[in-house]
Structure 1
Amino acid sequence: MDRRSFLKNAGIGAGAVAATGALAAPAIAQSTTDMVIVSTWPRDFPGLGISAQRLAARIGELTEGRLNVQYFAAGERVGAFDSFDEVASGNAQAYIGADYYWKGKHPAWAYFTSVPFGLTYAEMDAWIKFGGGQELWDELADGFGLQNFAAGNTGVQMGGWFNKEIETADDLKGLKMRIPGLGGDVMAKLGASPVSLPGGQIYENLVSGAIDATEWVGPWNDYFMKFYEAAKYYYYPGMHEPGSQLAFGCNKSWLMKLSKTDQQIIKAACMEENAVQMAETNANNGIYLDKLINEHGVELKKFSDEIYDSFGEASESVFEEVVAHSDLAKRTHESFAKSRSEIGRWMLLADTGYTEQRNRVLGITV
């Protein structure tokens, strides 16, 4: 699929070039530092890809060219799943991606993207900033020579695309489904065969029948993937990624050599994009859900309580295995679970309590 038109329409590519060309003479004259950023997302891809490109351009803009940023989408310099090693080794200076891709290196990485029955965007933001999440993330990343920052979020994801109806948990048995992270481990507990694929390879595998189902993000991102051409049943809500935190992972040794100002600029740019991407996703998901249903005949389905209960039982089994892995994994899970309970109780009273009543009074339904 040709996605280059999306970036052109958004004006991002032109904006980045214009920003470079508009640097004042003194800024150009000062010394510059090369910064290679690799990504797990396809170039010009709506949502995830454009967010990554926007962040890379913003870092160059805010540093007034002191950082000579070169951005490479998935497959342009290294494969999507090779981004971590490329940065940890020092061959590149940063990656933009989802840290649950690295759970094979340490299961605690999954918590800093999203885990089954995990945190929503608001809850994740609170845990990272005020619940000890960033400190645990720092400890984990430091063991690999990295420094990581929150740099985007896609909110509560859809449960996925299926080529058949899922009426009971037994319908998941034998299903080949693209689903990474601990969510994939949950599906494996229920008899499915989880497959980990980068975004650019999902469509071809779904159309060919190599996989029977896939999760991705939500209506806005999924619309452009054209999954509806191979699977008509679109399930919600996703238990696997209720607030998918995206990451900007820096080579720590390189980062610490920068001026304090440029270190803070990188952090600030990540914080800005973290908020912008979530707002952009929320603004578009409802629009594109209508398009999927009305223009392409997609059938919106809700997982039954029985299926969700099965998800819950399987997730507890997965968490037991994670906690047994190491002290850091145990402390990460305990911190996450504490925030999930404390913040979740407040969200139930405040956000959930209010939106349920508001939608009831106004007649807002799915």
Structure 2
Amino acid sequence: MKGKKNKNRSMPSRRAFLKKGLQSLAAGSLLGVAACRQDLKQAAGVEQLNEAHSGESIEWIAATTWPPNFPILGEGVQLFAKQVEIMSAGRLKIKVYGGGELIPPLEVFDAVSNGSIQIGHGAAYYWSGKIPAANFFAAVPFGFNAQQMNTWLISGGGWQLWQEIYAPYNIIPFPAGNTGVQMGGWFKREINSPADLKGLKMRIPGLGGKVLDRMGGAAVQIAGSEIYTSLERGVIDAAEWIGPYHDYTLGFHKIARYYYYPGWHEPGATLELLVNKQAFESLPASLQEIVRNAALRANLWMLSEFEAKNAEYLEKIVSEGKVELRSYPSEVMRALQSTTRQLLEELAEQDATTRKVWTHVQSFKQKMKGWNQISEAAILPYLQS
């Protein structure tokens, strides 16, 4: 009993001590805030953060363009949602639906735009019909690889340009994944010169398909689930999908002899997170930052996962199938590159926004050229040995 009394007697003094200490700490912080405008902004952000802790949890809906539980791409979006919930201590929960589960895959952009859902995940070139310049924020033939793409977006002004272009659609874009350099595709016959592309029926979408058309081939649009049967039955002569990991799961190594590289059409395809502008801006600063950082984590995870899995499954393809791994002849690559440049220049002439982005990309490429030549390009041959 005596010990208990002493304990109770000490409580007020402890409270007073803590209260005094906190008041002193707050006073010191206020002095710092008064001395620096930047600190005032930070203090406002902290105030928003504290307000968020007292509110109820927010529930968002995300829809992807990928089939449900699609390896790496769909998994990456699930990882993003999980990280947001963990980092926000449950204040923001995101329910993810695969393509077709909630809305058709290619209606994701419009659904985010009109606020039917808060988040979408896909690739910017899917919306090139309404925004021709969107191609540049996913992949264009002979464009940036993954590292260059991240550099351009995050530190080269590309992300700001991307946000500017999506602003009229009420959408804020975030980089959230990258496939890395893709493979050139599966062929039933050899490609030894540009002439071998003439009359070639190939499953290849986007700008890569337009380049093939100009080279005398015929780009065919076929869903991923239909590629195997079409290639097996001779409906098409060749097909590109993504890379060794996904190609192996579809069994292309069992029906096509020649596996060509590199993926000139998509040297580093960025995947995007689409967030409804009003929904994002209604979040407190702390949750906005969590969404931003979770997207960038997904961006890194997907690229890393693609690289690891592709290395593993390339070995499986070569060892298990009767496959000849071939590089495109330099003559073919130069012809494809020249045709690509002509196409991009024409598209830039037809659309002011495309011209603005194309000019920005070219300027950034030129700025980085000297450094890339004495860094990445110079060391890469030695890293492979």
Q: TM-score range by the shorter chain?
A: 0.7 to 0.9
Q: CA deviation at 1:92?
A: 1.5
1:180 aligns with 2:205: yes
2:88 maps to a residue whose letter is: T
Q: Deviation digits for residues 264-286 of structure 1, max 9, x if unmatched?
A: 11110011111121122222222
Distance in 1 separating the partners of 2:107 and 2:202: 22
Letter in 1 for 2:345: E
1:296-328 CA-to-partner distances (Å, cap 9, x unmatched) read 222211101111111012101211222113222
Relative distance call for 1:350 and 1:239 in structure 2 (3 A) is same
Contact 1:153–1:278 (8 Å) recurs in 2: yes
Q: Does 1:152 align with 2:177?
A: yes
Task: Answer yes or no: is the 8 Å Cα contact 1:123–1:343 preserved in 2.
Answer: no
* 2:289 counterpart of 1:289: no
Correspondences of 1:110-125 after superposition (within 5 Å): 110-125=135-150
What's 2:64 paired with? 39
Bigger Rg, which one: 2
2-structure distance, mates of 1:294, 1:104: 41
Give the direction of change, closer, same or farther, for the CA distance of 1:288–1:308 in structure 2 (3 Å limit).
Answer: same
Looking at structure 2, the residues matched to 195 and 62 of structure 1 have their Cα atoms a distance apart, in angstroms, of 44
Q: Does the C-alpha gap of structure 1 residues 218 and 67 become closer, same or farther in structure 2, counting only changes over 3 Å? A: same
Task: Kindly provide the amino acid, as one letter, of the partner of residue 60 in structure 1.
Answer: E
Aligned to 1:343: 368
Q: Does 1:252 align with 2:277?
A: yes
Paired AA for residue 42 in structure 1? P
Q: 1:77 to 1:201 in 2, by over 3 A?
A: farther
- Match for 1:141 among 166, 169, 180? 166
How far has the Cα of 1:351 moved from its partner? 1.6
Residue in 2 that maps onto 1:50:
75
SS at match of 2:219: strand
- 1:43 is aligned with what amino acid? P
Per the normalisation by structure 1, the TM-score is 0.85
Q: Could you tell me which residue of structure 2 aligns to residue 192 of structure 1? A: 217
Aligned to 2:114: 89
Residues 100-141 of structure 1: CA deviation (Å, up to 9, x unaligned): 111111211000011111111111111111211011101111
1:169-318 correspondence runs (5 A): 169-318=194-343
1:301–1:273: structure 2 CA closer, same or farther, 3 Å change rule? same
Q: Indicate if the aligned counterparts of 2:84 and 2:93 stay in contact, CA closer than 8 A.
A: no
1:127 matched residue in structure 2: 152
Offset, 1:200: 4.1
Residue identity matched to 2:163: D
For residues 118 and 207 of structure 1, do their structure 2 counterparts lie closer, same or farther at Cα, with a shift above 3 Å needed? Answer: same
For the residues of structure 1 that align with 2:65 and 2:156, how far apart are their CA atoms?
Answer: 28
What is the count of residue pairs matched by the alignment?
334
SS of residue matched to 1:151:
strand
SS of residue matched to 1:143: helix
8 Å CA contact 2:63, 2:120 repeated in 1: yes
Tell me whether 215-224 or 243-252 shows the greater mean CA deviation: 215-224
**Do the aligned partners of 1:324 and 1:330 also contact (CA within 8 Å) in 2?**
yes
Contact 1:203 1:226 in 2 (8 A): yes
**Letter of the 1:345 counterpart:** G
Distance 1:55 1:199, change over 3 A: farther
Distance 1:28 1:126, change over 3 A: closer
Query: Would the aligned equivalents of 1:60 and 1:68 in 2 still touch at CA under 8 Å?
Result: yes
Give matches, 1:323-338, under 5 Å.
Answer: 323-338=348-363
Structure 1 spans left out of the alignment, 5+ residues: 1-26
- Match 1:102 to one of 107, 115, 127: 127
Deviates more, 1:319-328 or 1:302-311: 319-328
Aligned-pair distance for 1:354?
A: 0.9
| Cα RMSD after superposing both structures | 2.0
